[in-house]
Structure 1
C-alpha cells in the first residue's frame, strides 16, 4: 500500500497516486480562482474524493474474496458463501463507482467556462456516465486526449464485464455458482471462479489471476483518465 497525503489514506500500490495528486492540483488552480469556490468545484470536489476511496474499497473487497477462495474454495458453510458473495459484490460495485466518479468529476471540471463550458445542470448531473461524457466532449478539440481515453474505456470488453456483473449483482441476483462432483474418480479440476450464464451476464470461468488482471486494467483506465483530464485542465 502507498500513503496518499492528498487523502490521508493508504491506497493500493497500483492506484495512480502521482497522477491523482497532479490532477487535483490542476483542478484547484482552475476551479478555485483566487481561492473562491466555482460552481464547477462544488460538484467536482465530492466526486474526485470518491475516485480513490472507491478503488480502495474494491481492492480490499477483492483481496478479501481472494483469500477466502484460496482458503475455503466455494465455502465450507452458508456463512462462508455469504461472506464471499458480499465481498464479490462490493468489489464490482466499488470498482465501477471509481470510474463513474472520475467521469462525474471530469464532467464537472469541463463545465467550467475556462475549460469547455459544457452544460452540467441537474439534468446532466443525473445522467452523467463515461459514455455520455464521451458524447459531451467529442466536439471539443482541446479534449481530444480525454475523448480518446473515454472511447477506449467504454468500448473495452473489460468495462462490459465490470458493468454487467455489477448490474447483475446490484438488483437481479447473485452469480449462479457451478458445483462439480464425480463418482468413482477424482473430482474434476475447475477454475475457482466458475459461474453459469444469466439473462444478462455470460458464463464466468476464470482463475484468480484473471480477476487480478481485471483490477490492473481498472487502475490503468483510471490513470489514463486522470492524465488526460490533467492535460485538459492545462490547455489554454
Structure 2
C-alpha cells in the first residue's frame, strides 16, 4: 500500500469508511479521494519526491476533515450537557475548540490545493518546476494557486472550483475568525436578559462581533451544516484534479 492513499484493493471495491486505521466520517468524499489518489500515482510515477508531497497533501486533507468532525461532535456533547448559561471554563474550552475547528476547516481545503499544485508541476514541468523550492512555496500559496493552475494547465474547471470556495460565506468567515482568534480571544458570549422561570437554552455558538469579524450565532443543526459544505468543496476539487493529464 502506498503511503498516503488507500490500497489497490479498496480502489476496486466499495469504499470503506476507514483510513490508516482511523474511522472516517460518512460525510468525507472517499470515492473522490480514491480516484484522485490513483491520478496522483499516475502523474508522479517518475518522481518519487512529488509522489511523497502529493501523498502528504491528501493525507492532510483527510486528517483535517476527521479532526473537524470530531471537534463538532465534542462541542455538541459539551453543549448538550450545558444546563443553562456557560461558566468561564466552558467558554475557555469552546473558544479553544472553535479556533481549532476553523484551523482544521481551512487546512482541509488548503491541503487539497497543495496536492493540486504538485500534480500541476508533474503535468507541465516546463510551466511549474517542482524542484524549485522557493517557487513551490510561493506557487502553492492559496492566494497564488489559481494563477499557477492556469499557467500550467489552463484548467478553468479547477479554477472555477477554487473561486466557488473563495466566494462562499463559510470560507470568508472561517478565515476571518481564525485570523482574529490568532491574536485575540473571541468576543464574550452574548447574554440576554430573560425574566422567565424557564429560560431558553442558549445557541451552541453565540459570539458578538469584533472590529474584524461579524457576530457568530448558530444553533446545533446550523453548526452541523459545516460538514456537507466542506465535503462538497473537497469532493469537487478532487474530482477536477482527477481529470488532469500530462502535457504532450
In the superposition, the TM-score normalised over structure 1's length comes to: 0.85
Deviations 1:169-202 (A, max 9, x none): 2233234311223347764675332111012110
Look up the match of 2:238. 226
Q: Does 1:43 align with 2:53?
A: yes
Deviation at 1:70, TM superposition (A): 1.9
Is 2:225 aligned against 1:213? yes
Aligned 8 A contact 1:130 1:154 in 2 = no
Is the CA contact (8 Å cut-off) linking 1:111 and 1:117 kept in structure 2?
yes
SS in 1 for 2:128: coil
Deviates more, 1:113-122 or 1:198-207: 113-122
After TM superposition, list the pairs within 5 Å mapping 1:95-114 onto structure 2: 95-114=105-124
Q: Kindly report the root-mean-square deviation, in angstroms, between the aligned alpha carbons of the 2 structures.
A: 2.6
Aligned to 2:18: 4
Q: Distance in 1 between matches of 2:143 and 2:100?
A: 23
String of CA shifts for 1:36-82, please: whole Å, max 9, x gaps: 51x43343222221010011011101110111112216765333333
1:223 CA drift (Å): 0.4
Q: Between Structure 1 and Structure 2, which shows a larger proportion of helix residues?
A: 1
Alignment length (residue pairs): 231
- Paired residue for 1:137, among 135, 146, 149? 149
**Residue segments in structure 2 that go unaligned for 5+ positions in a row:** 1-15
Distance in 2, matches of 1:70 and 1:234, equals 51
User: Using the alignment, how far apart are the partners of 1:26 and 1:88 within structure 2?
Assistant: 34
- Pairs within 5 Å for 1:171-186: 171-183=183-195
Contact 1:169–1:175 (Cα < 8 Å) also in 2 = no
Secondary structure at the aligned position of 2:210 is classed as coil
Separation (CA, whole Å) in 2 of partners of 1:213 and 1:235: 39
- The 3 A distance-change label for structure 1 pair 10 and 21 is same
Residues 20-44 of structure 1: CA distance to partner in whole angstroms, max 9, x if unpaired?
01111110111023xx51x433432
In the TM superposition, what whole-angstrom CA distance separates every residue of 1:103-151 from its partner, at most 9, and x where no partner exists? 1111111111547742453334434333421122234565222111111
Tell me the secondary structure at the aligned position of residue 174 of structure 1.
coil
Tell me the distance in 2 between the aligned counterparts of 1:72 and 1:206.
16
Equivalence map 1:1-236=2 (5 Å): 3-5=17-19, 7-33=20-46, 37=48, 39-72=49-82, 76-114=86-124, 117-120=127-130, 121-127=132-138, 128-139=140-151, 142-183=154-195, 187=199, 191-233=203-245
In structure 1, list runs of 5 or more residues that go unmatched.
none
TM-aligned CA distance change 1:42 to 1:212, over 3 Å? same
